[in-house]
Chains A and B, each alone.
Chain A
């Protein structure tokens, strides 16, 4: 059992609590909070503050039939949203992004594989599979990149990251994550802009792989 040492910054937890984080990052935060009691407590503190704002808001009178309509629906049948439980190394929010299916890995070369979960104008969310000793090609970022470790560990120019840790890459960080010995490293990576690769070949492949 590894101890989580790299957490979600507080401003990002606030943005998540109030619902203002791009979707790919929201998945990473929800997944990390599922694994990290410390960040869950911080998130719930923001919810407590939100509750205070709600309670102290000026009241606006509701129309006469709203209460009656609501009470009359208490017994109405409803379909609860599906709940995705943790599956293996994947926390519930990742299982949700996978729609309950196992990942279908596509090779990126050098033994590195990925499964793209979402890719749209808000950014991309994908799972990465890095065999021990292998590296994700050195890259910089046009925007922000969050990487949550789900299995194994990696190290790069910044430090060492184990299960539950989150690495935050911004425009100033160019890094080459290398998976440590042991289990292959599986991570959840989110960006709000395409990555910038340094060498020509991955750059040419980039549109193809949508990374």
Chain B
């Protein structure tokens, strides 16, 4: 049974997700459209406006999008509505305060907010702050790479589609795992989520920081 779920997920999620970064246009068309901007998701645009310009309107947009999702997510983990709203507020304030740590070359906005939300929930359950890896922060002056940002958003989009194609019980297993409801042993037993494509995309994002990573080791 568990093995079957694994292979079904593998079959569904392991499709090669490669899309051309730029639309297939001829050289002539490109010339006509010199200012065409690569479109990253609006969540990424809002988050970058918060990070780089401390834009409050963009933060309000992020809040409108994520707060009801965060509340739904947190309630599903068994927290009451009132307490869930306190956590939503903590998480969104952390998004504002720690926005410098958001790196769109390595994460879509929801991934970053997911981790903040899980950290907050775990810290509330335990008395001790959970140990986190050292932060890698882009040094000032590092060129941003719109193609990589877009590709990150697209990979997340593909994951979302793959999840939506699963049947109810398969999706339920994944949701339970990422809501922290399966133990390490249960995860080892059943969810071998193949995340190969997004993993290699994230590695490319990390490569940009290679100079600093070298300094770390």
Contact = CB atoms under 8 A, between A and B. Distances in A.
Indicate the member of B111, B113, B136 with the most A CB atoms within 10 Å: B111
Contacts of B178: 18, 46, 49-50, 53
Given A41-B202, A51-B156, A56-B164, A26 B130 contact: yes
Contacts of B93: 70, 73-74, 78
Contacts of B71: 59-62
A45 B76 contact: no
B40 interface: no
Interface in B95-145: 96-97, 106-115, 117-119, 121-122, 126, 128-136
Nearest to A125: B131
Interface of A: 1, 9-12, 14-15, 17-21, 23, 25-27, 30-31, 33-35, 37-38, 40-63, 66-67, 69-71, 73-74, 78, 80-81, 83, 85-86, 91-93, 96-97, 164
- Minimum-distance CB pairs A-B, first 6: A51-B110, A51-B111, A59-B68, A15-B184, A11-B188, A50-B114
Interface residues of B, number: 79
B67 A71 contact: no
Contacts of B115: 17, 47, 50
A71 B141 CA distance: 30
A71 B59 contact: yes
A56 B111 CA distance: 12
A11 B182 CA distance: 11
Interface in B76-105: 76, 81, 84-85, 88-89, 92-93, 96-97
B131 A93 contact: yes
Contacts of B33: none
Contact of B130 (A19, A46, A56, A80): A19
Contact of A51 (B81, B107, B180, B200): B107
Contact of B76 (A37, A46, A48, A57): A57
Chain A facing B: main interface SS: helix
Contact of A54 (B70, B130, B135, B177): B70
A54 B131 contact: no
A10 B66 CA distance: 28
B114 A60 contact: no
A52 B163 contact: yes
Nearest to A95: B134
B163 A56 contact: yes
Given A45-B198, A93-B131, A35 B193 contact: no
Contacts of B121: 19
Contact of B193 (A14, A19, A40, A78): A14
B63 A71 contact: yes
A11 B198 CA distance: 17
